[in-house]
Structure 1
Amino acid sequence: DNAKSTVIFALRLLTDLLLTNELFPVHSYGQLSNCVFLKSIFDLIENNGENDELILTAIKFILSFNLRFDSPHENPLMLTLLAVNEQLSCRELIERLILLFNRSVDPIECKTTNSIMKFFSDLFADQAATSDAVLYDSDRRLIVEIISRELSDRATTDETTTAYLSLLDLILRSQSITSETCPRIDELQTVFRAHLYAENCLKKNRLIINDILRQHYWLSTNDMPFYL
């Protein structure tokens, strides 16, 4: 118990430091990015199912560290998830993140970026290689369902809709969701129509939706005003 308390304290301290956005010393950053170290953090999450405090603290560290990387292809967290895929399922991590996503809860409360959507976006950004390694088909469908619900509940002028649409675009680009497996198609089509017809629709949202419809024709309907 003392050891776990020490780990919790250390991870909280690291998380607080990461969220300051200040530069880390090169050697410290290298240690945090080390695959062995990151695997040990993933291990903590997967093998301490009854210790919610430890798991949530480790997840907060992962999410805060993930915010430091703009390119998923150079992100040590994504690379580690791929590397340890055959040794570690990361189910506890994924299920907890989906639960938080479903509740619209960002545990680190970042003011500029939703850390959970950033993490999911990074999973799908690398030509779906990382998402294929750690997500089940049911996970993808559930994430799409949550996105659809959130888009339906938000106004077309709500700027947070852009992040949801961008994540949806990444998921669809991965070809892991098809017309046969996509949940809530009718709801998504209703959302798309609402945005495309709205005079005050955010321009970037209109562009994302048009791009989605061009690539995934099965999401379009005859009454959608394309390419406006």
Structure 2
Amino acid sequence: MKTIKTILIALLFASFSTISNADVKGGITIMGLDAAANGEEMSRGNEQTVSEDIQGLIASFFLEKGFDTPVGSMAIGIDISPYDIADGSVTNARVAGASTQTNKADVSVSENYGAYVTMNLGDTGAYLKAMVTSHNMKVDSTDIKNKTTSNTQVNSTYPDQSFMGGHVSLGVERDMGDMFIRGEVGASEYEKVTSKSSSGNTTVTAQIENGVHARISIGRAF
């Protein structure tokens, strides 16, 4: 996690050091994601799985530096979402005979950083984009509640987990005076996250996969 942050900060300062060049651009992006989410919990030999489709919107800021190469115009950039892109509660009810036990966890995904490269496809405004993103998943609290009692007790804790995402897109850019607008469509895939409880009794895994995304960006050249 620290390695990719160091790289992104270096790219940021490198871009600012050449801010006088017209090839530096920045702006804001809104991305819509439609993907499959798969989760699995293994606890004391009992396995539970869940799969569902998820949709969401993610806002981010970007800054990039363009340059010419022998194969055409390219750009490198950074993309940062300065907030939790996911924040919610997960509830798992376990039933064993007459006994019911409900586990609840508050989960957030933060520290969302991305680095990307684009390659222009001629002078049409179309381009290809490849991006890698880094995220941190945190389980803020975990508690357990039995059917036979109204008391909620603190359950095992889970360590923070970092995971990466890969994204490829086809986009097009159009100038609007001092501003520009971009549209992109593409595919996203995130690596599987595995976390083991502090008690050692439970292991959970989760993955977002087979994602498709659409982005719209607005920005300007400096």
Give the shorter-chain TM-score range: under 0.3
TM-score, length basis structure 2 = 0.20
Structure with the larger strand share: 2
Higher helix share: 1
Bigger Rg over Cα: 2
| Larger RCO of the pair (alpha carbons < 8 Å, separation 6+) | 2
